[in-house]
Chain A
Amino acid sequence: MIKEVSIINYPYGNILSLIRAFDYLKIKINLIDNPREIKKSNRLIFPGVGTFPKAINFLKNNNFFKEMQEYFYLNKPYLGICLGMQVLLDNSEELEKTPGFGIVKGNVIKLPNKNNSNKIIKIPHINWNLIFYNKRVNHVFNVGCKYMYFVHSYYAIPNEKNDILAYTDYEDIKICALIKKRNIIGCQFHPEKSGKDGLKFLKDFMTL
């Protein structure tokens, strides 16, 4: 298991919980303020919350974007949480159409306000939901089909089903919960907020 994780110090939202989760797992944390540190890391996490354009602006204005592109090119393990997952796609329609990294082909769109049975769906999706794995791909996480905590209004629609490791179901809407392209991983749920199973998920990431 890798003993140190690098976390991009995103100033918006709750980054402390993620830090405490790794403290709990006894894994050393390197909080990255200087984008140049990225190339030295072997496990990188971007725990974005808030809006898509704001996250992209932050990454670009502080020179993280380019360094992250290089990190992705080297195929070292990355975990994007929530918005940190969504930025891996081509574009998001949140507020205004904004390009992401385009590592995973597809777009990020708003959750539908009705399902196929015409039932009104509450948005944001704030719920604990079971994740289930895509049978077509090998799943690299040991943590099984467990309840994870979701809180989001937009969701990723990858073009390639093979990029999807796991889904969840919210009011009969199939939501992409976990994506993986080479060693680049994104989860829509918040493992740092998903109890003991979430902690296990983070530990799995360190042993990839």
Chain B
Amino acid sequence: MKNIRLISRLDVKGPNLIKTIRFEGLRKVGNPNDFALKYFNDGVDEIIFIDIVASLYQRNNLDTILKNAAKNIFVPITAGGGIRNIDDAQRILRSGADKIAVNTAAIQNPNLIRDLANNVGTQSLVISIEAKKNKNGFWEAFINNGRDKTGLNVLDWAKTAEKLGAGEVLLTSVDKEGTRKGFDLDLIKLVCKKVKIPVVACGGMYSLSCFENVVKKSNADAVAISDCIHFNRLNIQDIKKFASSKNISVRK
């Protein structure tokens, strides 16, 4: 049996939970720890915290949020944003995260993936990929929270990251993120075919049918959601009940 994991993704800036659209137009939503606790109590399978400005301003505010989360949340926690080296990774793990997600620093120095995998283990290392379809018809990997292009083809980069030791892909569509327009199914399908590590689909979830679509059509292992739960349009239990009714295995 494989159960599709339902993950709540919480983007933070400073002490605040925020929500963006295509990584822009940031809105404050509330206290990230309050929201995380609610999702835990609702039965979420995992929580992702991403510090959205950390890589740009070379700082990291996640520690406090993680330490607070560790007090009352007993599901896996992934943290990302601004992790540049092994020391950063160790600090984040010791603050209460189980996995670290890297993007910008890994693209700038791919060997960081190998070093991190050797140090924290593949199972704790998530490669976060921000994908945007470009004019040449391929998906390009972006860094600094969807701001800067890299010229890298997402499919090639995902494969490289897997080879270097990443244990999971957090795949966010920059085009769909926060838009409430559904997942980028083509992108997710292709990445799932390309790699043999678990893929977390992220960006665009707005309805129950969206969830069914992405799971059944793309072979994603997990689905990360934010907008639809932050603003109370859906809740974790409803999504899980719906999944079961559509023969999608989830943890009950």
Residues A14 and B96 in contact, CB atoms below 8 Å apart = yes
Residues B251 and A126 in contact, CB atoms below 8 Å apart = no
Residues B74 and A198 in contact, CB atoms below 8 Å apart = yes
Give the interface size class of chain A.
Answer: 35 or more
C-alpha spacing A16/B67, complex, angstroms = 8
C-alpha spacing A128/B252, complex, angstroms = 10
With contacts A14-B98, A17-B70 taken as known, whether A130 is within 8 angstroms of B1 at the C-beta atoms is yes
Question: Whole-angstrom distance from the CB of B9 to the nearest CB of chain A?
Answer: 16
Query: Which of B40, B71, B124 lies in contact with A13, CB distance below 8 A?
Result: B124
With contacts A16-B95, A122-B197 taken as known, whether A147 is within 8 angstroms of B2 at the C-beta atoms is no
Decide yes or no whether B97 CB sits under 8 A from chain A: yes
Please name the residue on chain B nearest to A148 by beta carbon: B251
- B residues neighboring A (CB under 8 Å): 1-3, 5, 40, 43, 45, 67, 70-72, 74-77, 90, 93-99, 118-124, 167-168, 196-198, 221-222, 251-252
Instruction: Report 30 cross-chain contacts, Cβ distance below 8 Å, ordered by A residue.
Output: A12-B90, A12-B93, A12-B120, A13-B98, A14-B93, A14-B96, A15-B94, A16-B96, A17-B98, A20-B70, A20-B71, A24-B71, A24-B74, A51-B118, A124-B167, A124-B198, A126-B5, A126-B123, A127-B2, A128-B5, A128-B45, A149-B75, A171-B2, A193-B76, A193-B98, A194-B75, A195-B43, A195-B74, A198-B74, A199-B74
- Given contacts A151-B123, A151-B124, 19 further A-B pairs with CB under 8 A are A12-B93, A12-B120, A13-B98, A13-B124, A15-B94, A16-B94, A17-B98, A23-B71, A24-B74, A51-B121, A120-B196, A122-B196, A127-B2, A127-B3, A127-B221, A129-B1, A149-B76, A193-B76, A195-B75
